[in-house]
Copies of this chain bind each other. A is one copy, B any other.
């Protein structure tokens, strides 16, 4: 089987470590004698149907290592979600270029594309090994303990809330930070790892795994404000009401904000602003601030988990090893062993393709607005080494001289 050419592409949203997987594929493939060319498709499947390829065999190892350490998809990405006809076009191009191995680094949509292309090759009796390499900051791939990209984004969110909590303690008020994750709350939940001591924020965490009720939210904020004299809130962009309608749309309608009828979740600060408006208007709290972490949480250069880097490199390497043994197509999956090591497995594409994992119940506190110790134990080893500390002064009060009465 297997021609001397392999093709690698990157799909979906960029992450801090997706280029580690790319480097893993390229450097590992170049070690195999039989491989003459390693091609990269520009902008994912779109680059395949456009035959927009670059020859990665001509890249230096030094530059591949530098690119590996750089966030965002170095080959470019795409939001195209191929249907069967699109996948048939992909297959036609792979055939024309005599590609023997196809590697697609992406989320669950990408794994579905790999599944269909794999089917087409089998139907055409064309020898093609197709391997899906996992990545997504949402951590929503089934069959994986976690997905490359998530640990670094989680580290960003934890560091952001650690800092926001200190800022909020210095200038007390309500702070709402909106985090990515339409269906899965893992990334929002990572905010809990920003705490050092018991009274640290986030004091409340709202996940898409639980129904969001505005009245309850306002009551929660009020209670936290009374207890701590301030309140830090982490909110998933995907929070929704009992019918599944995003809160962003509901609130936008209430305040008649949207002139054009379209509410999008990422790339806009609307949800944070709308929640802040509700807090100001309903609770009469004066200092209320909202931040939407937006693209910073997946693209910020200089915040990365070394554990994530290592694993992202390894899933790329393992993909090549699985494919060049040539046994079967599949998706590389990360399995946890103890506290903390990982093994890799090649699982059937059907296991992952088009499915969405959400947070398991045991990771969410009974209150619905916090995580459990099980979640903290799950996430802690993924964040990597050298997490910055949030130190604080110890409390040594000085007796008053004038006293309150004097003024």
A residues neighboring B (CB under 8 Å): 10, 13-14, 39-40, 43, 49, 51, 53-56, 58-59, 63, 66-67, 69-79, 89, 92-93, 96-97, 159-160, 162-164, 166-167, 169-171, 175, 255-257, 259-260, 266-270, 272-273, 276-277, 281, 288-296, 298-303, 387-398, 400-403, 406-407
Bound complex: CA of A302 vs CA of B162, how far in Å?
Answer: 10
Query: Which residues of chain B come closer than 8 Å to A392, judged between CB atoms?
Result: 67, 70, 74
Is the pair A269, B273 in contact by a Cβ cutoff of 8 Å?
yes
Query: Is A393 in contact with B67, judged by CB distance below 8 angstroms?
Result: yes
Q: How far is the CB of A251 from chain B (nearest CB, A)?
A: 11
A277 to chain B: which residues have CB within 8 Å? 259-260
A296 and B297 alpha carbons, distance in the complex (Å): 10
Which residue on B lies nearest to A74, using beta carbons? Answer: B393
Q: Assuming A89-B407, A267-B290, is B300 touching A159 (CB within 8 A)? A: yes
How many copies make up the complex? 2
Q: Considering the chains assembled together, what is the distance between the CA atoms of A160 and B54 in angstroms?
A: 28
* Min C-beta distance of A160 to chain B, whole Å: 6
Pick the contact of A289: B73, B267, B394 (CB < 8 A): B267
Mind listing 22 A-B residue pairs with CB under 8 Å?
A40-B393, A49-B407, A51-B402, A54-B393, A59-B396, A70-B390, A76-B169, A93-B401, A159-B302, A163-B295, A163-B299, A163-B300, A257-B257, A268-B273, A268-B276, A269-B269, A269-B272, A269-B292, A273-B273, A296-B296, A302-B387, A302-B388
Q: What is the CA–CA distance of A403 and B288 in the complex, to the nearest angstrom?
A: 57
A98 CB to closest chain B CB (Å) equals 9
Residue of A58, A171, A281 most packed against chain B (CB within 10 A): A171
Question: Is the beta-carbon distance between A291 and B295 smaller than 8 angstroms?
Answer: yes
Q: Is the CB of A397 within 8 A of B303?
A: no
Name the B residues within 8 Å of A69 (CB-CB): 388-389, 391
Q: Establish whether residues B72 and A167, one from each chain, have CB atoms under 8 Å apart when the complex forms.
A: yes
Inter-chain contact A394/B76, CB cutoff 8 Å: no
- A272 (CB) vs chain B CBs: closest residue: B269
Q: In the complex, are the beta carbons of B163 and A301 less than 8 A apart?
A: yes
Decide: B295 and A294 in contact? CB cutoff 8 A.
no
